């Protein structure tokens, strides 16, 4: 029974957002980590993300039953009722938002609200079913956790927060499209107008290259503006160069699904290593460049 409720929160997504929240926190902490604040921030953010994932499961029941990888989810099998799932989501969200409001700060709370509203309202309820631009909308919610982590420490939205917000959002694009190519038939059967299905896999590969270059350009700004040191410059660009290489060889791939799986898995490795690298690639003292 507990396993059903755990999987309703999408553990894979929880882990990914846990890592990116940690990354934002480590960047802002500049080596001086308040472990209690870190624990509270991670807990609050994880609960909010979990709440959003439960609501997404409720909304996507009709889509999930048409996709092989999701057709055994609890909401599809009716092993958890909608009212129970809604109460579960409310409790998770209430506790998560309360933690961020009372024990972190208003910036962390604000970006948690932005991420939740965009994911549930603008992405799950609207754009996922209607437009190829769904991935751009979804990337906004995906980029909220690192900013929550960053602002939890910095207590301001500065240039560093803006760069990781844009950078992590840009990363979401090739990452999400890789899943859609790998699970192409699922997305096609469900009628989801994501780029590979609505346009073509070839066009998606071209846009992946473009977004990787934009991702690299934006996050190199962390070094240019003095938030990170030369170790960041070396490690980040080495990691991204390999991702770029994988995107290029995709044009000659004999099996798009196998290539997309490799491309997707590396994107997860990259964002994880990038986030963890902020524990030693920060620049101290960081520049004081507040935006608001």
CATH code of residue 142: 1.10.600
Residue 220 lies in a domain: yes
Task: Provide the 3-class DSSP secondary structure of residue 228.
Answer: strand
**Mean pLDDT within 270-274:** 98
Q: Which value, in Å, is the radius of gyration of the alpha carbons in the chain?
A: 19
Tokens of 248: 């290029």
Q: Percentage of residues in the chain with pLDDT exceeding 90?
A: 95
**Looking at the domain assignment, is residue 287 inside a domain?**
no
For residues 144-166, one letter each, b for 16 or more C-beta atoms within 10 angstroms of the residue's C-beta and e for the rest, the string is bbbbbbbbbbbebbbbbbbbbbb
Within a domain: residue 60? yes
Question: Alpha-carbon distance 108 to 111, whole Å?
Answer: 5
Task: Establish if 285 belongs to a structural domain.
Answer: no
Q: Is residue 30 part of a domain?
A: yes
SS3 for 220? coil
Q: Is residue 292's pLDDT more than 80?
A: no
Least confident of 57-61, 67-71, 129-133, 194-198: 67-71
Q: Is 215 in contact with 148 (CB distance < 8 Å)? A: no
Give the range of the structural domain holding residue 152, as residue numbers without chain letter: 2-277
Q: Which of 200, 221, 201 is nearest to 263 (CA)?
A: 201
Residue 291 lies in a domain: no
What is the rounded distance in angstroms from the CA atom of residue 15 to the CA atom of residue 145? 11
* 214-255 pLDDT tens trace: 999 999 999 999 999 999 999 999 999 999 999 999 999 999
Structural domain total, the chain: 1
Mean pLDDT of 64-77: 91
The whole-angstrom separation of Cα 77 and Cα 10 is: 16
In a domain, 259, yes or no: yes
- As a whole-number percent, the residues of the chain with pLDDT over 70 amount to 100
The mean pLDDT of the chain is 97
Q: What is the pLDDT of residues 160-196, one digit of tens each?
A: 999 999 999 999 999 999 999 999 999 999 999 999 9
């Amino acid at each position: 029974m507990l396993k059903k409720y755990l999987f309703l929160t999408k553990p894979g997504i929880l882990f990914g957002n846990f890592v990116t929240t940690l990354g934002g926190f480590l960047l802002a902490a500049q080596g001086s980590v308040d472990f209690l604040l870190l624990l509270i921030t991670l807990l609050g953010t994880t609960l909010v993300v979990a709440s959003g994932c439960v609501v997404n499961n409720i909304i996507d029941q009709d889509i999930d039953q048409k996709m092989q990888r999701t057709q055994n989810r609890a909401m599809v099998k009716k092993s958890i009722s909608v009212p129970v799932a809604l109460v579960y989501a409310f409790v998770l969200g209430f506790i998560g938002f309360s933690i961020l409001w009372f024990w972190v700060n208003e910036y962390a709370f604000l970006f948690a609200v932005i991420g939740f509203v965009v994911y549930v309202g603008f992405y799950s309820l609207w754009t996922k079913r209607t437009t190829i631009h769904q991935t751009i909308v979804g990337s906004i919610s995906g980029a909220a956790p690192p900013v929550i982590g960053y602002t939890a420490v910095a207590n301001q939205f500065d240039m560093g927060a803006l760069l990781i917000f844009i950078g992590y959002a840009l990363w979401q694009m090739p990452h999400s499209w890789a899943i859609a190519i790998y699970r192409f038939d699922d997305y096609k059967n469900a009628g989801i107008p994501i780029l590979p299905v609505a346009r073509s896999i070839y066009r998606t590969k071209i846009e992946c290259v473009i977004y990787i270059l934009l991702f690299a350009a934006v996050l190199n700004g962390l070094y240019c503006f003095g938030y990170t040191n030369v170790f960041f410059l070396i490690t980040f660009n080495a990691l991204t160069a390999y991702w770029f290489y994988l995107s290029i060889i995709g044009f000659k791939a004999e099996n798009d699904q196998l290539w997309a799986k490799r491309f997707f898995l590396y994107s997860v490795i990259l964002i994880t290593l990038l986030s963890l690298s902020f524990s030693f690639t920060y620049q101290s003292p960081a520049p004081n460049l507040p935006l608001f």
